[in-house]
Structure 1
Amino acid sequence: MLSVTAQRQPESKMRFLVRGLLIAVAGLGIWMATQAAVIPAKAMVAQFLLNSAFEASKATGTPQKPWPWADMTPVARLRVPRLGVDQIVLSGGSGEAMAFGPTVLPGTAAPGQPGTTVLTAHRDTHFRFLERLEVDDSIRLESEHGEVKEYEVIGTEVVRWDGFSIPHADGESRLVLVTCFPFDSTKRGAERYVVHGSPDGQPISQ
C-alpha cells in the first residue's frame, strides 16, 4: 500500500507542471501584446521620419533619406481630399520602399513631370483606398520641389499584369495608380487594379 507521501508526489508534480504551463502561456501573451504594440509604434515613427525627410528634401532641393540605411527617398506627397488620404511617395520601387508607402514605378515619369507617372503599392495597406475611389475624385500630387499637380479620376480597370501598358501622355503630366486585385484576396494573382488620372479630366490616348 502506497504511503500518503508517495500519493502526494504525483499531485505535486502535476501542480508544478500546470503552474509552469500557466506561466509560459502568460509569458507568451505578454510577448504577443508587446509585439502588437511595437508594430504600430514602428509605423508611426516611420511616418514621422518619412514626412521629415520629404520636408527636408523640399527645403534643400536634395533628396533626403528617411534613415541612413534606407534604399529609397521621399519624392512626392499623395493626397485624396475626399477620402482623407495623405501618403508619402517613395523612389525605387523596391520591397523595402513598398513596406512604407507607395512607390514610383521605375522607368515612368517623375511626379509632376511631363509623361505618365505610375505609382504602385500594396492592396492591403497603402493602396487599399483605391477600391473607394470614384470617377471625378481629385488626386493631388506634390513633388519634392513643392509643385502641386491636381488630377481627376477618369476611370478604373482590371487588367492582367502582363496586359498593362503605360498610357501615352502626349507631353502632358498623367497619373496612374496600380495595385494587385482583387482587394480581399490573400494570394498574389495575375490581375491588377488600375486607376487613371488626368489633369484636365480628358481621356488618355493609348
Structure 2
Amino acid sequence: MLAMFMAGFALLGDGLYIKLKAVLAQHLLQQAWQETLVTQAPQKAWSWADTYPVAAISFPGLDLKPVIALKGSSGEALAFAPGHLENTALPGQQGTAVYAAHRDTHFAFLENIKATDIVKVKDIKGRDHLYKVDNIRIARWDQSGITNENTSQRIALITCWPFYAQTPGPLRYIVEGHLIKNSTLH
C-alpha cells in the first residue's frame, strides 16, 4: 500500500513539476523577450539556454496571456515554451510560420480556439502580424500537409491530440490561419 502511495505521489509530483517549469520559464522568457525588443538582438532567458525568444503569440479578444515562442522545436525548447520550427517562414514572410507546443502546457488552450479567431504574433523587431484562423483539423504527424512552398503568408499552431490523452500518439491538432495585417508599433 505504501509503495502504491509513493508511486502515485511521484507521478503527481512529476506532472506538477512539468507545469511549474512551464510557468516559471514563461516568466523568465518574458524578461528576455522585453530585452530582445529593446536591443532587437536575441537574448537568452538563462545563461545555459541553447535557444532564445523569437516571438510572442497572443489571441486578442480572448482572456489569455501572450506566450513567448523560442527558436527551434527541439525537446529542450518545447519543455519551456512553444517553438518556431526551423526552415519555416517567419511571421509576415511568404510561406507558413509553424509553431509547436505541448498540449498540456503552452498550447492547452488551442482546443478553445475557433475559426475566425485572431492570432497576433509579435516578431523580434516589434512588428505585429495578425492572422485570422481559417482551418482547424487533425492529422497524423507525418501527414500534416503543411508546406512552406506557398505564395501566401500563413501560420500553423500544432500540438498533440487528443488533448487529454495520457500517452503520446501520432495525431496532431492543427490550427491554421492567413495573414490579414502587418503593422509596426515603433
Report TM bin, short chain.
0.7 to 0.9
Counterparts of 2:38 and 2:48, CA distance in 1: 21
More helix by share: 1
In structure 1, what is the equivalent of residue 41 of structure 2?
62
Distance of aligned partners of 1:137 and 1:36 in 2 relative to their CA distance in 1, 3 Å threshold: closer
Deviation at 1:196, TM superposition (A): 0.8
Q: Secondary structure at the match of 1:58?
A: helix
User: 1:111 aligned to 58, 82, 91, which one?
Assistant: 91
Are the aligned partners of 2:96 and 2:153 in contact in 1 as well (CA < 8 Å)? yes
Contact 1:112 1:141 in 2 (8 A): no
1:177 paired residue among 134, 157, 175: 157
RMSD: 2.8
Map of 1:152 onto structure 2: 132
| 2:55 aligned to which of 56, 71, 76 | 76
Deviation string 1:68-110 (CA, Å, 9 cap, x unpaired) is: 1011100000001233231001112111211111111121112
* Gap regions ≥5 residues in structure 1: 1-24, 202-206
CA–CA separation in structure 2 for the residues paired with 1:101 and 1:138:
20
Q: Report the counterpart of residue 184 of structure 2 in structure 1.
A: none
Q: State the TM-score, normalized to the length of structure 1.
A: 0.74
Are 1:112 and 1:147, in contact at CA under 8 Å, matched by a contact in 2?
Answer: no
Secondary structure of 1:57's partner?
helix
Q: Is 2:58–2:119's contact at 8 Å kept on the other side of the alignment?
A: yes
**Distance across 1 between alignment mates of 2:31 and 2:130:** 23
Gaps of at least 5 residues in structure 2 are: 182-186
Instruction: Decide which structure has greater strand share.
Output: 2
Where does structure 1 differ by over 3 angstroms across 4 or more consecutive aligned residues? 34-45
Q: TM-score scaled by structure 2?
A: 0.81
Separation in 2, partners of 1:114, 1:73: 23
The sequence identity of aligned pairs, in percent, is 41
Q: Which has the higher contact order (CA 8 A, sep 6+)?
A: 2
